[in-house]
Amino acid sequence: MIDQHTKNPPPPKAAQRYRKLAISLVLLLALTAAAGYWLLYSASGLQSAAAAVNRWGGGMIRLTGVHGTLQDLHIETIHFNNVEQALTLQNLHMRWNPAQLFHRQISIQRLALASIHIDQHAVDTAPAAPQPPDSLLLPFGLSIASMTADAIHLNAAIQENAAPVITNLALTLESDGQHHQLKQLNFTTPWATVESQAELDGNAPFALNARIGAIAASSWGGIDTTVAGNLEQLTIQSASRPPATNMTLHAQLQPFAANPVTQLHAILQQWNPGDFAANAPQAKLSVSAQLTQNEAGQLAGNINIENHAPAPFDQGGIPLSAIHARALISSQLLALPEIRALSGKGGVVRGPLAWDRNKHTLTADLEVERIDPQQLDTRLQSAAISGKIELTGDAEKQSARADLRGQSLRLTAGITRDADELILEQFNLQRNRSRLTGQGKLQLTGEQMFDVSGALINFNSADFIQTADSNLNATLQTSGQLLPAASGTLNYAIHNSRLGKSPVNGSGEIAFTGTGRFSGKAELLAGSNRLLAHGRMDGEQHDVQLTVNAPALAQLGLGISGDLQTQLIFRGTMQAPDLDWKLTSKQLELPGKQKLSGISASARWHQKDTIALNLAVETYRAHEQATIRQLSAILDGKTAGQHLTVNANINKDTTVQLAASGSLSPAKSGLPLRWQGQLTELSATGDMPVRLLAPAALAASATLFSLNDAALSISSGSVRIEQLHWTPSSWKTRGDFTGIALLPGTPAHAKDTPLQLGGRWQFDAAAQLTGELHIQRERGDWTLPGDVPQRLGLQQLQLQATARHGSLSGQFALNSAALGSVRAEVTLPLPPKKTQWSTAKESPLQGNIHATLPSLKWLNASGNNLRADGELQIQADIHGTLQQPDIHGTVSGTNLSLALLEQGIRLQQGTLAARFRQTDLHIDRLQFASPHAAPPDNRLFRDLALQDTAGSLTVSGKIGLTGASGQFDFSLDRLPLAHKTDYWIVTSGQGAIHMKNNHLSVTGGLRTDAGLIMQPPENRPALPDDIVLVNTPSAQQPQKLALDLDMNLNLGEKFYIRASGLEGRLTGQLQARSSGNQPLKLTGAIAAQDAAFKAYGQDLKVRRGIVSFQGSLDDPNLNVLAVREGLAVEAGVEIAGSVRHPRVKLVSTPEVPDTEKLSWIVLSRKPDTSGLDTSVLLSAAGSILGGQSGSGLTDRITQALGVDEITFKQAGVGSSLSGQIGVIGKRISSRAYLSYERGLTATTIGITKLTYNLTPKLTVVTQAGEDSAVDLFYTIQFD
């Protein structure tokens, strides 16, 4: 059965139509896809699209140099042009994904531009008031992963070769159509390097948040700015980064209002204008502005400027101490209703000032009170000037008038501009009898005719400036025109005048046209000096003669002295000159302490004759130092060729010789005189000798210097200067060098292959600097000088400097087996200039330093006493400016060790954590461990457990890396100080050290945990007493160090001594104090405990041993008692008084005579009644008691025995006695002397001598005993 709901199939013709339609649609889609593919992915498709843009752009847009495909395109130039501006994009390269357009997304992976040129067109109509946008929504998403532009130029068509205002632009942008995120916008300008991010909402009121960081190309340093709010109301906050000038700014803006700034609060501290411009004055300014918009839409408030370092103009400062003003500011008005400018000594300038932009009017009415000219410029005479200064004007007429008076001084002046004429109505400066008058006028249209006249009447310069007295009477009159070239006449006459004590007269009549044509005569007589010039220069033929005869230049009062004679005769033309010139001077002193002597110069140049130039200078001194000792230059030859030789002796050890051959090209129209030829010889002696290897092309003129293909030998290496070209507006150079040796001393000290450097350079400088410098180690090594010279083991030494895209960057790399590795990078912006490039001292720096020093053994080269090792890591960042760099970073050290061998200090296992900024090193922690060595005598320290622990030293604080300054704390914990033959000490304590301005302060306390002082060896080598070491005194004596000391020294309970016969334990405390350069003072006492003293083989028990200090370091008080115990008579020595004045006596229990006391001390018994012990006892008495001052025991013995001499000495050569002998002598008369000598250990009878002086030179000596003889001596003395 047939289903009625089943549709009947279409007729065959309808099905055929549907099939054709489907096929057509498929073909259309295929063609569209093919066309799209052809357009997007083929070069011909891109060319067709570019042609369509050029054809349909209507002249507003033009593409040239199109390459690639639409997906990856490169366009050499894109020109946009409309009524307001012209835009040129050069070398555009874009890679993007057109398929994202189907997803309503523009996705650009890379957009790079070499340059953007923007030229604004002049528009007659006033710009319309800005209006807020209705919406900032985008109909699609936008993603720019990377956009860069090397340079952006403004108004390049007006200013040819204009430097870019923006360089190194980099941008990253993301937007979903509503929320726009500027993830990165970085660029460099001549004023700052900027990094910024921002977020903007596309819906009203268009919320905006931005962060901007700028590093200014000036002393502003870094500035951080935040922007918050919306496009109806924005808040801006700015603050400078330390250590730059302290600046804060708060502003409220309404961007689309007639007066957009509604609030401005700014504070600037310690600002120095001299840091921003080379010619700006120096000052320390604090600026504050508090401005708020009033009801009239004007910013109103106060502006205050304080100068904390006022200085006169001639000293490079600003003489004003403060400026206070009320302000009213809008887009049409700048009004300061009340200005108060303060100067020193109560000087004030006050009054209103206003400028109305709509009415084109400027008014000022200033009152001057008690202004001292000497406060403005120290070269001016002092005065107290008061008066008025008025300024008025509009678009048609302006005028300025001044009426100032004070202390017999008056200045009245008036100048007016009315229509097309500028008139100096009057100028009258007068003080006492001195008077200067003038008047004149200048037409501002047409040929600009002018007429000016003036007069000096009894004019004494000393009335106004600090100079010699004068009385000048002169008249001056000049008139002419400025266009098309300045021309006119100048007449002057000086009569009945005086300069100092020298009469002055002169007159002149000169007619001039432009700068190259004049005729006339000028004469000046000043004392014994005369100047005469006359002739003409008319551009074709010249006839000029100049004569100067000045035997006393000091009479002119120009700051120069000496003599000068010169004569110049110039005829002919610049192309065919006829010139004769001579100059001589015996002595010539110029400003700045520059002195020349023996100057002689002459030149002759005739068109068809020879050219000759001779110049000789005997000496040239700068600041009393002879820089050039002999200089001679000779140029001779003919017009077509000359030969130049120059010889100079510079300082004491450098001789320079130069020779060149070439020819002079006469000056032509617009071109100066030029010399061109070859440099044939160049040599110099000294530390780095120089020698020219082959002739080089050389050209020179007043506006050009060029040296090409010059090969030089320098310090056993070679330098090749391919090009060196200089003009007043640019310079360029390139070349290379190799084998330049650097020696750590003189060549005689170089045993190994010295460090040799090689490299190349290429620079091109005009408005911008571009180029590079590369220096690297080629071979050899550097040796650290010292007691133990040490090679660094250099493996890499490289320096690279590159100037490109408005910045100068440098990289340094060093690899050394001894030092380790050092890497450094620094970048300096080079702001573009209109003429020549330059680096401003306020230019910001950016860089970093990384150093790894795996070993510090290279420090051991400084001397045998030092031993150091360990590893250091240094990380540093470089910021700040070229004038004030800010270098800060960290230093870390591990496995550090330091040993001072002579002092017995051995520090190990050291660690360091430090940071530095500028010239200050902050030590957060420096710690060493020091293992204990076994004491020399363990019996004394049995209960002292040190072997299992280590001592430590900890230091923290700050040290100035330049100059003597710093402060740090130290702590010692059982730190050992050991010297194997002298001492063994373990100490603890803490203290602080402060150093500033050559003043050292030390405070703290030390306690000895254990110690032993030992007897130093007696066989150490030493110089004889008659040898004195004399060092050459340094040219500059170091400044003495002032010391403030306050230290407590505690010997503890385990401090032992074993030296000079004393063995025992010492206890006590000392307080050491000193102030400034005062002597060190000690207070406290040291006591000997359980001590014994060994003398003459006997042990004396020290019952009391106290040394007390009450100030003086070298004269402590003594309280000592040492007794020999265990005998029937316990005898000993007691010492009292002080070191300088000791009182020594013998004591005993029970009391016995002194001779018996000596016998009990030395012999342990009574003295022998036969007298055989006498020599031994006398020797002991001299040794023990002879050192005291005053009348001691030995004096009393000689008095008791009735003799004149009791001495002990070594037997002489040839004597029958040997060893130590005792001598007892008595003078019988003025000519006779009787003495007895006997060996101290001998048992013989000795020798008796009688010495008799026959004459002052003839003596008879007779002796009897062990050796009998008679001798006759004749004495001869030599001076």
pLDDT in tens, 1064-1120: 888 888 888 887 667 778 888 888 888 887 766 577 888 888 888 887 766 788 888
Instruction: Decide: 474 and 468 in contact? Cβ < 8 Å.
Output: no
The predicted-structure confidence for 516-533, as pLDDT tens digits, reads as follows: 788 999 999 999 999 999
Q: What is the b/e burial string over 420-441, where b = at least 16 CB atoms within 10 angstroms of the residue's CB?
A: eebebeebebbbeebbbebbbe
Q: Is residue 500 one of the residues assigned to a domain?
A: yes
Q: How many CB atoms lie within 10 A of CB 1202?
A: 7
Rounded distance, CA 122 to CA 120, Å? 7
Do 517 and 503 reside in the same domain of the chain?
Answer: yes
Residue 473: pLDDT band with limits 50, 70, 90: very high
- Whether pLDDT at 3 is above 60: no
What pLDDT, on the 0 to 100 scale, is given for residue 1261? 81
Q: Which of 145-149, 243-247, 322-326, 952-956 has the lowest mean pLDDT?
A: 243-247
Alpha-carbon gap, residue 747 to 696, rounded angstroms: 29
Please indicate, yes or no, if residue 1188 is contained in any of the structural domains: yes
In this predicted structure, the answer to whether residue 640 has a pLDDT above a threshold of 50 is yes
Q: Are residues 1253 and 1137 in the same domain?
A: no
Instruction: Let me know whether 1162 and 1213 are in one domain.
Output: no
Work out the average pLDDT over 300-308: 93
Confidence of residue 552 (pLDDT cuts 50, 70, 90): very high
At 425 the pLDDT is 92
pLDDT tens readout for residues 367-423: 999 999 999 999 999 999 999 999 998 878 899 999 999 878 999 999 999 878 999
**Confidence grade of residue 1190 (pLDDT, cut at 50, 70, 90):** very low
Distance CA 278, CA 213 (A): 26
Question: Percentage of the chain with pLDDT > 70?
Answer: 81
Residues β-bridged to residue 658:
646, 682
Is 1147 domain-assigned? yes
Q: How far apart are CA 666 and CA 716, in angstroms?
A: 41
Does residue 424 surpass a pLDDT of 90?
yes
Q: Is a pLDDT exceeding 50 seen at residue 1030? A: yes
Residue 440 has pLDDT above 90, yes or no: yes
Beta strand 999-1014 with 690-694 is unpaired
Residue 56 has pLDDT above 90, yes or no: no
Same domain for 1215 and 1196? no
Residue 1113: its pLDDT value, please? 67
Examine the domain organization and report whether 1127 and 1192 are in the same domain.
yes
pLDDT for 342 = 92
Split into its structural domains, the chain has a count of 4
Structure-token match 């009239």, residue found: 296
Q: Is 865 left (phi over 0), alpha (psi -120 to 50) or beta?
A: alpha
1154-1162 helix and 1174-1185 helix, angle to the nearest 10 degrees: 90
Concatenate the DSSP letters of all residues of 855-903 into one string: --GGGGGG-TTEEEEEEEEEEEEEEEBSSSEEEEEEEEEEEEEEEETTT
d(CA 548, CA 525): 10
Task: Tell me which H or E stretch contains 1183.
Answer: helix 1174-1185
The domain containing residue 1173 runs over which residues?
1079-1202
Q: For residue 767, what are the contacts with CB-CB under 8 A and spacing of at least 6? A: 161, 163, 832, 833, 834, 835, 836, 837
Shared domain for 1087 and 1157, answered yes or no, is yes
Name the DSSP class of 940. G
Within 8 A by CB and 6+ apart from 667, the residues are: 574, 575, 673, 674
Q: What is the pLDDT of residue 862?
A: 63
Lowest pLDDT segment from 440-444, 802-806, 875-879: 802-806
Q: How confident is the model at residue 1251 (pLDDT cuts 50, 70, 90)?
A: confident
| Mean pLDDT of the 1176-1188 span | 56
Which domain-ending residue is among 508, 525, 555? 555
- The whole-angstrom separation of Cα 239 and Cα 224 is 6
Residue 1275 pLDDT greater than 80, yes or no: no
Burial of 411 (0-12, 13-18, 19+ CB in 10 A): middle
Residue 614 belongs to some domain of the structure = no
- Contacts of residue 53, defined as CB under 8 A and 6 or more positions apart, other chains included, come to 61, 63
More confident residue, 582 or 1100: 582
| CA 60 remoteness from chain centre | 55
Residue 1097 and residue 1195 in one domain:
yes
1123 and 1246 housed in the same domain: no
Residues whose CB falls within 8 Å of the CB of residue 152, separated by 6 or more in sequence, listed in order? 115, 116, 117, 118, 164, 165, 166, 167, 169
For the residues 566-595, what does the mean pLDDT come to? 87
Residue 407's SS3 state is: coil
Give the angle subtended at the CA of 542 by the CAs of 536 and 544, to the nearest 5°.
60
Establish if 543 belongs to a structural domain: yes
Say which amino acid occupies 433.
Answer: R
**644-654 average pLDDT score:** 87
Q: DSSP labels for 743-783? A: -SS-GGG--SPBEEEEEEEEEEESSSEEEEEEEEEEE-B-E
Flag whether 234 is in a domain: no
Last residue of a domain, one of 1186, 1202, 1218: 1202
Q: How many CA atoms lie within 13 A of 1133 on its CB side?
A: 25
Q: What is the pTM of this model?
A: 0.58
Lowest mean pLDDT among 499-503, 958-962, 1016-1020, 1202-1206: 1016-1020
Q: Cβ(782)–Cβ(744) under 8 Å? A: yes
The string of DSSP codes covering 905-917 is EEEEEEEEEEEEE
Per the listing, tokens 């007892």 go with 1224
Q: What is the pLDDT of residues 828-847, one digit of tens each?
A: 877 655 556 667 666 778 88
pLDDT at 1189: 40
| pLDDT per position as a tens digit, 340-361 | 999 878 899 999 999 888 888 8
Average pLDDT over residues 685-703: 87
In a domain, 96, yes or no: yes
- Asked if residues 934 and 889 have their Cβ atoms less than 8 Å apart, the reply is no
Looking at the structure, tell me whether residues 466 and 486 fall in a common domain: yes
Residues 1178 and 1123 grouped into a single domain: yes
Q: Tens digit of pLDDT for each residue in 1191-1233?
A: 445 555 555 566 666 766 666 656 666 666 777 777 776 677 7
- 1230 shares a domain with 1194: no
Which pair of tokens denotes residue 495? 């009569």
pLDDT-derived band at 457, boundaries 50, 70, 90? very high
3-state secondary structure 728-743: CCEEEEEEEEEEEEEC
Mean pLDDT, all residues of the chain: 81
Domain boundary among 1202, 1233, 1260: 1202
* Gap between the Cα atoms of 375 and 892, Å rounded: 54
Quick one: angle between helices 1174-1185 and 1193-1201, nearest 10?
140
pLDDT band at 1034 (very low <50, low <70, confident <90, very high): very low
Q: What is the mean pLDDT of residues 79-103?
A: 84
In a domain, 811, yes or no: no
Instruction: Answer yes or no: do 1223 and 1191 share one domain.
Output: no
- What pLDDT is stored for residue 1157 in this prediction? 81
Strand blocks (E) in 1113-1230: 1117-1123, 1130-1137, 1142-1149, 1205-1210, 1220-1227
